[in-house]
Chains A and B, each alone.
Chain A
């Protein structure tokens, strides 16, 4: 049984359909990258998985429990699903350390000292042990996002969802964040929506190509980049390749 199973997800905003039946599965410690043009519902898909935007139809299962079932305690499930936001969403009133420890303290009910010790470990892991006392507004974008990753990691999630984690960053700051993500490979399952093709190519176990609210094609990076079956996939990868050249950011 797969760790995460997404079954036939539909979602519309008003009358505009965004997702039109998306299904895939993920195994433990697998890294999956979702690519595709803007506005094809990639971010919506992530938000449907942890129910920040509940899907109109379809099911999401994690470890044999149905998240989409209204009877499921969604808060308990979200503890197991880390989420890294495009615009960070760090808690503005808390230091970096408290941003990472607050979930442990208030949700997992871990004692404050222990929680902060753990938070310090996670911040060290992402290279920010010097910034623990700083507030979000005092951090650079790259540092903010690494705090965001540490915050997700501290909860010991089964899977972390990354919603375009580098797209709000200045180009010179992207590398640090991608390095941290790469270091997590094989330690925790990651589902990453990104436009960083270098990362997708070098780090992903599998790539999902989405367009128009459906999965057009999925496969290993090698298959997708050298031998895509669908014309739309080829066209997209060709276009993005032309745009970024042989982009090896984070590669």
Chain B
């Protein structure tokens, strides 16, 4: 009987999984795009702009994600910005991730020796060419471990969207629990397993990517 309920509930878990994956995909896309721009801004833009970016990063890294969600979802309507729960969650995930990712990219840029730019200049490359052909390819390679770390964090953090009512994996789990409370342990263990498989596969895939783009002998600094 309980088993039947469990099997009947599986499609709803799949629905939840899809929402979780959507949150992850859109969130990481926003975080990466914004993160690269912020990192470039801090390294190459004028002082006041770089300073503003620094403050943005500090603030977003200093606020718990759940509070950020509440601020966006419950607080913003007070100033006329009404977002549905999913959009609010994606925005929160993306903004917070951008603050962490900016640090990854800036760290990568800073770890590229100045001599690389000098060598590019000595061949007659302009600043833009040097950034494009020398700095960015190296920066991206150096950022892979940090980025994949950030990806799995964001994937796990999507579970907090539960707190503002997004119907993702955790929320679907709660619905099943409400329908049949005897299933609660097995359902959340199952959800844990789903997350574990997602995180595990993401790590595996990123490790392959990392290997493929590794600069031979030039060990990217992994923060794990």
- A residues with a Cβ closer than 8 A to B are 50, 52, 75-79, 81-83, 85, 87-93, 102-103, 106-107, 134-138, 151-152, 155
- Supposing A92-B215, A136-B218 touch, asked if A52 and B121 sit within 8 A by C-beta, the answer is yes
30 A-B residue contacts at CB 8 Å?
Answer: A50-B122, A75-B124, A75-B125, A76-B124, A78-B122, A78-B124, A79-B123, A82-B122, A88-B115, A89-B113, A89-B115, A89-B116, A89-B118, A91-B119, A91-B134, A92-B138, A92-B215, A93-B218, A103-B125, A106-B133, A107-B129, A134-B216, A135-B216, A135-B218, A136-B217, A137-B215, A137-B218, A151-B123, A155-B123, A155-B124
Interface centre among B122, B126, B216 (most CB of A within 10 A): B122
How many Å from the CB of A147 to the closest CB on chain B? 11
CA distance A68 to B215 in the complex (A): 37
A88: chain B residues within 8 A (beta carbon): 115
How many Å from the CB of B207 to the closest CB on chain A? 19
Residue among B125, B126, B217 making CB contact with A137, cutoff 8 Å: B217
> Does A75 contact B126, Cβ atoms closer than 8 Å?
yes
Residue among B122, B138, B215 making CB contact with A83, cutoff 8 Å: B122
- B residues with a Cβ closer than 8 A to A are 113, 115-116, 118-126, 129, 133-134, 137-138, 141, 215-218
What are the 6 A-B residue pairs with the smallest beta carbon separation, nearest first?
A: A137-B217, A79-B124, A89-B115, A83-B122, A103-B123, A135-B216
> Does A135 contact B215, Cβ atoms closer than 8 Å?
yes
CA distance A179 to B216 in the complex (A): 28
> Does B133 contact A102, Cβ atoms closer than 8 Å?
yes
B116: chain A residues within 8 A (beta carbon): 89, 91-92
> Does B115 contact A137, Cβ atoms closer than 8 Å?
no
In the complex, what residue of chain B is closest to A104 when comparing beta carbons? B123
B218: chain A residues within 8 A (beta carbon): 92-93, 135-137
A81: chain B residues within 8 A (beta carbon): 122
Residue among B121, B123, B126, B137 making CB contact with A93, cutoff 8 Å: B137
A136: chain B residues within 8 A (beta carbon): 217-218
B123: chain A residues within 8 A (beta carbon): 78-79, 102-103, 107, 151, 155
How many Å from the CB of A96 to the closest CB on chain B? 11
> Does B115 contact A103, Cβ atoms closer than 8 Å?
no
B137: chain A residues within 8 A (beta carbon): 93
> Does A103 contact B124, Cβ atoms closer than 8 Å?
yes
> Does A107 contact B125, Cβ atoms closer than 8 Å?
yes
> Does A85 contact B118, Cβ atoms closer than 8 Å?
yes
A78: chain B residues within 8 A (beta carbon): 121-124
> Does B124 contact A52, Cβ atoms closer than 8 Å?
no
In the complex, what residue of chain B is closest to A82 when comparing beta carbons? B122
In the complex, what residue of chain A is closest to B122 when comparing beta carbons? A83
CA distance A230 to B222 in the complex (A): 56
In the complex, what residue of chain A is closest to B126 when comparing beta carbons? A75
